[in-house]
Amino acid sequence: MPDSVIRALATLSLMCKITVLLGLAAFSSCSSDDRSRDADARIFVVTTTTMITDMVKQIAGDKVQLTGLMGPGVDPHLYEPIPSDGIALSEADLIFYNGLFLEGQMTSNLKSQGGIDFGSTLSEDQIKGQKSHPDPHIWGNAEIWANCVPLVVKELSEVDPPNSSHYKERGDQLIKELRDLHQWSRSRVDSLPEDSRILITSHDAFEYFGEAYGFEVVALQGISTVTEAGIAERVKLVDFIKKNRIKSIFVESSVSPEAIKSIAEDSGATIGGELFSDAMGEPGDIEKSNDEEYDLGTYQGMLKHNINIIVEALK
Query: What length is written for the chain?
Result: 315
Fold designation for 14-181: Rossmann fold (3.40.50)
Smallest CA-to-CA distance from 218 within 201, 233, 197 is with 201
Q: Give CA separation, 136 vs 60, 112, 115, 194, 205, in Å.
A: 24, 19, 16, 26, 8
CA 49 centroid distance within chain: 6
> In tens digits, what is the pLDDT along the chain, a chain of 315 residues?
443 433 444 444 444 444 444 443 433 333 334 566 777 889 999 999 999 999 999 999 999 999 999 999 999 999 999 999 999 999 999 999 999 999 998 999 999 999 999 999 999 999 999 988 999 999 999 999 999 999 999 999 999 999 999 999 999 999 999 999 999 999 999 999 999 999 999 999 999 999 999 999 999 987 776 567 788 889 999 999 999 999 999 999 989 999 999 999 999 999 999 999 999 999 999 999 989 999 999 999 999 999 999 999 999
Bridge partners, 295 (sequence order): 286
> What is the Cα–Cα distance from 264 to 309, expressed in whole angstroms?
17
Instruction: Say how far apart CA 110 and CA 20 lie, in whole Å.
Output: 15
What DSSP character marks residue 36?
Answer: S
CATH topology of domain 191-314: Rossmann fold (3.40.50)
Relative orientation angle of helices 3-26 and 83-91, to the nearest 10 degrees:
60
Residues 6+ positions from 159 with CB-CB distance below 8 Å: 43, 93, 94
**pLDDT digits 0-9 by tens, 1-13:** 443 433 444 444 4
Structural contact between residues 20 and 87, judged by C-beta atoms closer than 8 angstroms: no
Task: Kindly list the domain boundaries of the chain, sorted by start residue.
Answer: 14-181, 191-314
From first CA to last CA, the distance across the chain in angstroms is 46
| Chain CA centroid to CA 231, Å | 28
Per-residue pLDDT, 225: 67
**Which ranges of 83-221 does DSSP label H, i.e. alpha helix?**
83-91, 107-112, 142-146, 149-159, 164-189, 207-213
Q: How many CB atoms lie within 10 A of CB 16?
A: 10
CB 137 within 8 A of CB 208: yes
The gap from C-alpha 241 to its chain's centroid, in whole angstroms, comes to 27
Residue 40 half-sphere exposure toward CB, CA atoms < 13 A:
10
Rounded to the nearest 10 degrees, how much is the dihedral formed by the CA atoms of 276, 34, 106, 146?
-50
Task: Please report the pLDDT score of residue 30 as a whole number.
Answer: 33
- The C-alpha atoms of residue 258 and residue 256 are separated, in whole angstroms, by 6
- Give the other-Cβ count within 10 Å of 154's Cβ: 15
Burial (CB < 10 A; 0-12, 13-18, 19+), residue 253, is buried
For position 35, what pLDDT does the model report?
65
